[in-house]
Amino acid sequence: MIDVAHDQLFAEIPFVENPVYEKIIHDIAFQQYSIIDDFFSSEIVSHLRQSLVAKHEDDRFKKAAIGNRVNEHIIKSIRGDQILWIDEKKANLAEALFFTQINDLVSYLNKTCFMGILHKEFHYALYPKGTFYKRHIDTFQNDDRRKLSFVCYLNDQDWTPENGGELVLYLDDNGVDTEKVIYPFPGRIVIFESQIIEHEVKVVETERLSITGWLKTR
Ligand code: OGA
Ligand code: MN
């Protein structure tokens, strides 16, 4: 009979560095954004895509807004995507796996960088052909608790740059304005500082699918 005290067994659970999370932390510290390909497995991405498409066919998406007192015509000249918020408590299997990974990332960020992320919110987004989202900042009219913006692309495996819909980050590289062009390849995630980075979604030539969300402080 092995007689090991309960405390001894559980006292020293070693901290294991996660190289992907470390890259995100390093990138954000040094350039305020991070791009990770294959953050989610292709199975999860494909299930999330199917889930998005099914809910969209169910007519559950709404035209995205940009704040109160702005009429629809003006909104269309700023952004043309349709969105559906995802309720973690009612998550289907694909969404539950998505949130498992998000929650793991959040607890890592809070543990290692004291980021103080207490809330999060995510929505599906569908950009029909011909739509875009003009240059903006995510905390503009919305929510100054937004700390990190998070986008995960759910497009088909055969997505090509000709399909448009690039995410462009407007960066200040030591006083020099630079544009970082990011293609929305499936499985790719982009994380950036919500309060700092202006960005835009270029005109989409083929329906463009994603999940967008924010990690928020109190
Ligand atoms: C947004 C946004 C970027 C993208 O929804 O606020 O900027 O690449 N999305 O979809
Ligand atoms: Mn944005």
Superfamily of domain 29-64+79-216: q2cbj1_9rhob like domain (2.60.120.620)
Q: Greater confidence, 91 or 114?
A: 91
- The per-residue pLDDT of the chain, averaged, comes to 92
* Planar angle of CA 178, 182, 188, nearest 5 degrees: 145
Q: Which ligand is nearest to the CA of 167?
A: 1
Q: How far is CA 130 from the centre of its chain?
A: 22
pLDDT at residue number 91: 98
Distance in angstroms (rounded) separating the CA atoms of residues 155 and 179: 23
Is residue 83 lining ligand 1, measured as CB closer than 6 Å? Answer: no
> pLDDT per residue over 3-22, tens digit each?
566 666 666 778 889 999 99
| Residue 185, burial from CB neighbour count under 10 angstroms (0-12, 13-18, 19+) | middle
Is residue 82 lining ligand 1, measured as CB closer than 6 Å? Answer: no
Is residue 163 lining ligand 1, measured as CB closer than 6 Å? Answer: no
Ligand 2 centroid to residue 91 C-alpha, Å: 24
* Complete DSSP assignment for 120-152: EEEEEEEE-TT--EEEE-TTSSS-TTEEEEEEE
Is residue 86 lining ligand 1, measured as CB closer than 6 Å? Answer: no
Give the mean model confidence (pLDDT) for residues 96-111: 97
How is residue 68 written in tokens? 């109160």
Domain ranges of the chain: 29-64+79-216
pLDDT at residue number 142: 61
pLDDT at residue number 14: 80
Nearest CA to ligand 1 atom 6: 138
> pLDDT per residue over 155-192, tens digit each?
999 999 999 999 999 999 888 999 999 999 999 999 99
For residues 23 and 112, the answer to whether their CB atoms sit within 8 Å is: no
For residues 35 and 42, the answer to whether their CB atoms sit within 8 Å is: no
pLDDT at residue number 118: 95
pLDDT at residue number 82: 96
Ligand 2 centroid to residue 194 C-alpha, Å: 8
Local structure of 6: helix, strand or coil: helix
